[in-house]
A and B are shown apart, each in its own frame.
Chain A
């Protein structure tokens, strides 16, 4: 394009709309062509205030640091100390979040078990029941009770080391799931008792209870079913964390799992993922306040999930009051999901490494979120497990590094006061002061 036209008038640069962006326009065209909302996997992709907006205050003169690698900084955590006869003790405060067989291949579930075992932590089933691969390779396995109850049976319930009643997921608080036909293979169909090849709808409410008063009775039932042996977790999406935490405690939870909006899902409506729920950063303080008001902080353990990627994220979540964190998406990436080595194949699917989120379509080039035998064969569960173990070790070492720098002999001793915020948003959400000041929005200091 020339800078001037034939009359010598300067050419103006065509201006793209900030409202009707190229992204927005392509969504409109897609909707017009298909008549159905976009369904995808993963968590919120939009930018939200996050742990990246917090910094630790290392030790200096007023505080003394611990010597790295020599002076101990413990990482173990016991989950389920309130009512269960057999609480779960894990070596690191990082657990593997619930992901279903169906969404993941059997080999991927096996790799999660292998990695978690080697790192001394637990894994979690998902919507679709418990597979032998998973039980066999996970020494500590949390069994989810979900609204659809696919694959739910009392034998597996009694084999579990903890039970997690899933009320909500950060990716879709108040919504159900969606697994499109391509992935309902013979084995998935048989485990879920569904016709092969159909679109599977998952319900948004449990079939046999609604509300905290009935949840309390549901918890009692599961305690009776499992003879009060194992911890009962209640997983909630980050929407009204203060109220929901209180109600989960009243309903009898041993452990609360709190999942923010960056938390992933196998598949649901994009509009849900991007427009419902709270950023993880903003969920933790209200939940911890609820626990403290009930004198239940550290007595009912709080596991936070949704966008945990690094040891810094782990340490920050714990400093805000979490007892542990859970990872899902990051674990899949550690196994090899979205690896640039498959770039050519991602391009064939119309996407690129890092952006691939059509996990429900079952075409995952990395062989993880698929039920296709040929794609699955690309994934080696032993190697995958080793990679996950390495990643978990790094997360732990990083978190310890930060904790030692703050003078802590246990990750649990990190406090909100060990941090500052880089942005007003993060300061308000995490209720820690803006860096270099002594105030944060929402506190009566100005």
Chain B
């Protein structure tokens, strides 16, 4: 077990120690004490590890993560797990805006609420939010899954491509080119698995699926008002 106390050690030395493990395959364990909302904690990890952040993190926590399992015991600031490639990030509290922005893979598990633009431009990540999410979630979402146990704010899935959205509660409004879709057995299967993996207290059947109506994929003058 490695412990880094950000009260006495610098962010730079923490991240350098984590980056020094790039290329190694042995799983390591880390604890970060006194994060106090600092930015870019555990950014750019690329080795198997369990890392616990014992408090709240600032912007871009665990950004571009590969392989690591990151656990934030408090809340997370904007851009949590930005451009994540693989691994998991679990937040006990809330996530601020742009959580999982452009993330390509892995699993982002937010136990509280997430605010605006959750999963913006998502490119393959799976995001589970146990609470509710803010407006413009998954704007231009390309692929991956956004699962919300609570409600979604305005303009869900605006201008989305092939990302899928599953919302259990209310959706305040759908964004341009986003529509309600039928739930097929494969969607129930997917939800069953991911809800179980994220410890979510919900049944797959309670969710509604949304996704791209694909009307903006190629320009048509009759859809011009959506641009």
Contacts and interface: CB of A to CB of B under 8 A. Distances in A.
A35 B78 contact: no
B85 A154 contact: yes
Interface string A134-163: 000000000000001100111101100000
B83 interface: yes
Contact of B83 (A152, A197, A217): A152
Given A224-B15, A228-B12, A193 B124 contact: yes
Given A208-B101, A221-B60, A201 B159 contact: yes
Interface of A is mostly: loop
Residue in B60, B98, B143 whose Cβ sees the most chain A Cβ within 10 Å: B60
Contacts of A218: 59-60
A214 interface: yes
Nearest to A149: B102
27 contacts: A148-B121, A153-B64, A153-B85, A154-B83, A154-B85, A193-B123, A197-B218, A198-B218, A201-B140, A201-B216, A207-B98, A207-B101, A207-B120, A208-B78, A208-B82, A208-B98, A217-B58, A217-B59, A218-B60, A220-B39, A221-B39, A221-B60, A221-B63, A225-B40, A225-B43, A225-B44, A225-B63
Interface string A218-240: 10110011111000000000000
Interface in B51-79: 58-60, 63-64, 66, 78-79
Given A207-B121, A208-B78, A194 B161 contact: yes
Contact of B40 (A192, A194, A197, A221): A221
A34 interface: yes
A67 interface: no
A286 B15 CA distance: 38
Interface residues of A, number: 35
Contacts of A226: 44
Given A195-B162, A195-B217, A154 B102 contact: no
Interface of B is mostly: loop
Contacts of B63: 221, 225
A366 B221 CA distance: 31
A224 B102 contact: no
B168 interface: no
Interface string B162-181: 10000000000000000000
A178 to B, nearest CB: 9
Interface string B183-227: 000000000000000000000000000000000111101001000
B147 to A, nearest CB: 19
A202 to B, nearest CB: 9
B104 interface: yes
Which 4 A-B pairs have CB atoms at the shortest separation, nearest pair first?
Answer: A35-B221, A225-B44, A208-B79, A154-B64
A203 interface: yes
Contacts of B216: 199, 201
A194 B124 CA distance: 11
A441 interface: no
A243 interface: no
A203 B121 contact: yes
A64 interface: no
A355 to B, nearest CB: 24
Given A34-B221, A152-B102, A208-B102, 11 more contacts: A148-B140, A154-B44, A154-B83, A154-B85, A157-B44, A197-B218, A207-B101, A221-B59, A221-B79, A224-B15, A224-B40
B11 interface: yes
